[in-house]
Amino acid sequence: MKNNPFILGLIGALVFAHQPVMDMAPRWNGGYGFQVRYERFGSDRTIHEQNILSSYFQQTYWLEGVYTWHRAKRITFKLPYHMIERQDADLVAKAKSFGDLILAVPLKKYTNYKRRTQNFGFTPQIRIPLNEEKTSASGYLGGGISLSYSSESFSFYQLYDVFGWIYNEKDPLLGLDINLGIHPYHDNTSNTGLFAMWDITGRWQETSTRILTGPVFMTYRQNIMVRLDVKLPMVENGKKTQLSKGLFMNVGIGFVF
Amino acid sequence: MLGLVSAQTVVLNDKTITILKDEVVLEVSGLVCSFCATGLQGGLSSLKYVDGKKYKNGVFVNVEYQYAVIAEMIDHDINVDEAITMITKSGYEVLSVYTNRTGEKIEVRRFEAKKDEK
């Protein structure tokens, strides 16, 4: 059982494309919001099911905020705090640090229909390293572009987001996020409700292809929204030996004002 | 079904709504999401002469049938044009406004649907 030191640097962070708050709000002029998310993923098995005595587990807390100065123009930030535990044979390393700050300017073109609303989004993004030290999850200056479409009726919600990132010292990344779901419950009096969705997340780099999928549950009451994602790898391919992404879990709470 | 008006009721998106004397009902296109209600309630409740004792700070939003109800203080009328502007700034469009100032007859203002927003 031979360890391969290559694998650990390649798993990296799952650059999260979704925008606060939960891609949805606030839509009104002068609205603002923030959310806190916790995400974790990692594995001790490779994508080819090899036994190599290595593992990588990452937990990240995200503080994210949004300000809408016009209904079609927003500015957002996402600041991660990473906690990484990696093992190479007998060598175990743990690290905690702030990751790269992500700033974005989501621009949206809305169209309202009688019982439906939709928008096309164009979002330039920049990723700014806060630490000089490079890790698998941070330390890379990068720029990204996202093209998205979402549509919502009272009963159905759908979001498609295609995005690309380029970095100064890292492979470019192409991503696709799809959310499809239903809105089975809403109470107008208390503005309380529930979404149940399915998420498909695809990430393509020169060295790997990963597609994760799983359910999403989102509940809200007045101006508070809670979202839970659980995803499993459906496709994981790579030229080099790499660890699997493993079970991906995300839970977040957001507030809008 | 848009705005079939009878003596005291109106049918909006297949829902029959009673228009009370001290209320303004606005049919809003695109008003389908849960957080829309939060945004609209916050904005509309800040208008002058809204009766904050009714509903949630004086405003009820129905995202299933896409309308908002604003409760007015007795003997005072809200500025409907300000309400329309507020809704537009929230990212939606007002298709029609229903009032029942006398308590006997519903008055309707309709607006042409403008689908595109920047």
Range name among A20-34, A181-195, A206-220, A226-240 with the lowest pLDDT average: A20-34
Nearest to A188 among B32, B61, B115 (CB): B61
Cβ distance of A31 and B39 shorter than 8 Å: yes
Q: What's the average model confidence in pLDDT over B47-72? A: 93
List, for residues A152-211, the tens digit of each pLDDT value: 999 999 999 999 999 887 889 999 999 999 999 999 888 899 999 999 999 998 888 999
- Specify whether the CB–CB gap between B118 and A72 falls below 8 A: yes
Classify domain B20-101 at the CATH class level.
alpha beta
Query: A 140-169 residues with CB below 8 A of B?
Result: 152-154
Closest chain A residue to B59 measured between Cα atoms? Answer: A189
Could you read off the pLDDT of B77-88 as tens digits, one per residue?
A: 999 999 999 898
- Where along chain A do its domains lie? 8-256
pLDDT tens digit string along A138-149?
A: 888 999 999 999
CA–CA gap between residue A14 and residue A80 (Å, rounded)? 11
Distance CA A243, CA A202 (A): 16
Residues of B in contact with A72 (CB under 8 A): 117-118
Place of tokens 């229903």: B98
pLDDT digits (tens, 9 = 90+) for A58-99: 999 999 999 998 888 999 999 999 999 988 888 899 989 999
CB contact under 8 A, B34 and A186: yes
CB contact under 8 A, B35 and A154: no
Write the pLDDT tens digit of every residue in A45-56: 887 777 777 889
User: Tokens 């029609």 appear where?
Assistant: B96
Give chain A positions within 8 Å (CB) of B87.
none
| Closest CB from A109, A112, A191 relative to B37 | A191
Residue B102 token pair: 């006398």
State yes or no: pLDDT of B101 exceeds 70: yes
Across the interface, whether the CB atoms of A188 and B56 are under 8 A apart is answered no
Q: Which two tokens stand for residue A80?
A: 């991660």
Residue B52 has what pLDDT?
A: 93
A183 has a chain B CB within 8 A of its CB: yes
Strand order across the B2-5 sheet:
B2-5, B9-12, B15-18
pTM of the predicted model as reported, rounded to 2 decimal places: 0.86
Cβ-proximal residues to A91 (8 Å cutoff; 6+ apart), any chain: none
- pLDDT for the residue numbered B4: 54
Say if domain A8-256 classifies as CATH 3.40.1190.20. no
Check A25 against B35: CB less than 8 A apart.
yes
What percentage of chain B exceeds 90 in pLDDT? 48
pLDDT-based confidence at A1, cuts 50/70/90? very low
> CA B113, CA A111: separation in Å to the nearest integer?
11
Chain A CB within 8 Å of residue B60 CB: yes
DSSP state of A9: H
Q: Answer whether B67 touches A (CB < 8 Å).
A: no
Give the three-state DSSP class for B44.
helix
pLDDT tens for each residue of A111-139: 988 888 999 999 999 999 998 888 777 88
**Taking CB atoms and an 8 Å limit, are A112 and B63 in contact across chains?**
no
Residue with tokens 């689908």: B115
Of B5, B36, B17, B14, which Cα lies nearest the Cα of B110? B5
Residues A203, A142: Cα–Cα separation, whole Å: 16
Q: Is 50 exceeded by the pLDDT of residue A104?
A: yes
Residue of A nearest to B87 (CA): A28
Q: Identify all chain A residues contacting B43, using CB atoms and an 8 Å cutoff.
A: 28
Nearest Cα neighbor of B60 from B15, B103, B102, B105 is B15
ipTM of the complex: 0.78
User: Which is more confident, B99 or A90?
Assistant: B99
Quick check: B99 and B19 in contact, CB under 8 A? yes
Query: Closest to A112 (Cβ–Cβ): which among B41, B42, B92?
Result: B92
Name chain A contacts of B113, Cβ cutoff 8 Å: 114
Q: Residue A153: its chain B contacts at CB < 8 A?
A: 32
Q: Determine contact: A217 vs chain B, CB below 8 A.
A: no
| Stated length of chain B | 118
Burial class (CB in 10 A: 0-12, 13-18, 19+), A47: buried
